[in-house]
Amino acid sequence: MHGYLFDVYFVNGSVFIWIKGVDGKFYRHSENYKPYFIIDAGDKNDTIIYDVSEVASAKFVSRLFPIDKPENRLMIMVEPEWQDYYKVLKMAMNDPRVNAIYDSDLMPVQKFLFNRLKVEPGSAVNFEVNGEELRIIASNESQLSYIPPFDLSDDIICDKPCWNISKREINDPVDYFQGSCAGRISIDLPAKWFKCTETGLAWLVERARFAFLPLGLAARWSSNKIIDSRNAFTLINRGFAVPKLHVNEPSMSMLEFVNRDRGGYTISPKYIGTFENVGVIDFDSEYPSIIAKYGISYGGYGWLIPEVIRPWLERRLLLKRLARTTKDEKLKAIYSARSDSLKLILVSEYGISGCSLNRFGNHFAFEEINKISRQVMLKAKNIADQNGFDVVYGDVDSLFVKKEGAKLDDYELLSNMISKETGLPMSVDKIFRVLAFCGKKTDSKTAALKRYFGITDSGQIVCRGIEARRSDFPEAIRSFQLKLIEEIYGKGDINMIKASAPSIASKMLSEFISSIRNGLVPATKLAFEKRLGKDPDKYHVNAPQKVAAELSGLGLGDAVRYLISRNGVTINYDTTYDWEKYALTAISAAKTVLEPLGIIPSLEIKMQYFY
């Protein structure tokens, strides 16, 4: 039979497996499972296994360790009854004869998936049901375009915890932590990594398959834990023991830090202003590509990170090409969602390699990737210069270049040339018909990094670092700014844009501020949203998010929404909002759009007109 691995979870010594067949039916299987841990006691193994055998099942196993210079070591696998697991583990941890304990901080469901089932949740499977036995093997299909046939209203339930969801098997327990509800999956507030849409499901399945985790955990865990899970599976699959996660960042002098950790290479925009016909060429997954090409891993040059990411990097590049070439809009959305899911994970591999919270605690990989990236970008810039292109901006893995009369073929020729010279894949990402760079918030005369907007030759608005891209700004302000960009920059050359901009901005600002003044904009679209970086009582100033959090009873990590009323910050959407504050915010958003043209919107409009 053919279907999809829907869910796997562990409760009180039993594993529960749910498969959705292509016939639409669900197939359930449960079995007893005893999670294990591994002891390395060196020459004391013989006495340890004798003592441990008094309280749990124990046997000798061979495991490789460490990962950089592996040795085949004789160790002890301990499998206590579940109710005794932590008691026996604590006993081993406190035994002075034990050198190290491995695989101990992996979840029981991970151990089952990695060692017994060996099938990625969410993937297509072939399976056989024979009485109480269930046999599952991964399917050979490419699984690039499919969305598993999980129903987003009946199989995966959004915004409801398990206790509010009807179980498919009434007698089965549930796992509230990972949202496994006996044949249904709960995606509630803790599941921050999932949007309840068809493309969101494609995104989540790709994440779960990389992580080798149930969908519920993949929706709840950060990229750090997602990558750690795949690392652990890879190690176990290769016969290695998995060390315990610990914080261990090697020390270095300030001089060493400055010399090694310089970050990525950026080229500041030439000036605040506008440019026409700018091609953006970027390295496809630059950091993962560097890892794979140069064999960079934790603590030095090695095998683990390259082996983990190489097949997923190839898969992501294929998905990206498919999204670019397919004419089917639904498939394009699915390919893009899957590609974006892997993009987040692959770029996180780079960041996490320099984080002390990775299981191998060494920032060498992070620093080495940055060093090679800087060298590659400098080489790319020199090649562009030598071929008559003007580099107007550079941002870590992409170059913004222009050349009089250049067309798509010219930009593709340049990207192919750079790719050949550097040995890293590069392609044309987009061509801006018009591109505008904004000034720094702290220095209005200097162009800012990562703060620009433009309209591509296909009519798409692209922006970075401005109000329209900031989720903490009110929806109404973001929409207004995007419409203003479209109206001002959507037609004509730079001269025509400059000539028409003042009248367009004045008219649109007047209309928008009038709508705010007359209460025509719904309060919900004027809400600011901030995520709390600390608990309210830890703020030293009366920041709006602090006040809103106190009114809402929210704390660290929560998102707070609030309005600005005549009396200050409020969470009451029935109150009268302070239209003047929002009008000034709109003028500031308009200034961002007009600044590259040398126009100041405050001279075009006077607030007293609206009183």
- Residue 439 phi, psi dihedral angles, 5° rounding: -85, 165
Is residue 240 within 8 A of residue 392, CB to CB? The reply is no
- Report, as an integer, the average pLDDT of 584-607: 80
pLDDT score recorded for residue 604? 45
Q: What mean pLDDT is reported for the chain? A: 89
pLDDT score recorded for residue 260? 60
**Angle in degrees, 0-180, between the axes of helices 364-386 and 408-422, rounded to the nearest 10:** 130
Contacts with 146 (C-beta within 8 Å, 6 or more apart), sequence order: 124
Preceding omega of 66 cis (within 30 degrees of 0): yes
The b-or-e profile of 152-166 (16+ CB within 10 A means b, else e) is eeebbbbeebbeebe
| Domain 37-102 -> CATH class | alpha beta
pLDDT score recorded for residue 13? 96
pLDDT score recorded for residue 368? 84
What does the DSSP assignment read for 199-218? HHHHHHHHHHHHHT--HHHH
- pLDDT single digits (tens) 228-241: 999 999 999 999 99
pLDDT score recorded for residue 252? 62
pLDDT score recorded for residue 261? 63
pLDDT score recorded for residue 485? 97
- pLDDT single digits (tens) 32-48: 999 999 999 999 999 99
The structure's pTM equals 0.81
Helix (H) or strand (E) holding 223: helix 223-237
pLDDT score recorded for residue 255? 66
Check whether 605 has a pLDDT greater than 60: no
| Domain 502-610 -> CATH class | mainly alpha
Start-end of H helices in 272-423: 286-294, 304-325, 329-353, 364-386, 408-422
Pick the CATH number of 265-304+360-465 from 3.20.20.70, 3.10.180.10, 3.90.1600.10, 1.20.272.10: 3.90.1600.10
Question: DSSP label at 245?
Answer: P
Check whether 334 has a pLDDT greater than 80: yes
The torsion region of residue 197 among left (phi > 0), alpha (psi -120 to 50) and beta comes to beta
Check whether 79 has a pLDDT greater than 60: yes
Least confident span in 239-243, 267-271, 592-596? 267-271
Check whether 397 has a pLDDT greater than 50: yes
Check whether 474 has a pLDDT greater than 60: yes
pLDDT score recorded for residue 258? 57
Check whether 603 has a pLDDT greater than 60: no
Question: Fold identical between 37-102 and 502-610?
Answer: no
Least confident span in 99-113, 202-216, 247-261, 285-299? 247-261
Residue 223 vs residue 77, higher pLDDT: 77
- pLDDT band at residue 188 using 50, 70 and 90 as cut-offs: confident
Residue 128 vs residue 452, higher pLDDT: 452
Q: What is the dihedral of CA 152, 324, 481, 465, to 10 degrees?
A: 100
Per-domain boundaries in the chain: 2-33+114-237, 37-102, 265-304+360-465, 502-610
pLDDT score recorded for residue 192? 74
- pLDDT single digits (tens) 528-580: 999 888 888 888 888 899 999 899 888 887 888 999 998 899 999 888 899 99
- pLDDT band at residue 335 using 50, 70 and 90 as cut-offs: very high
- pLDDT band at residue 69 using 50, 70 and 90 as cut-offs: confident
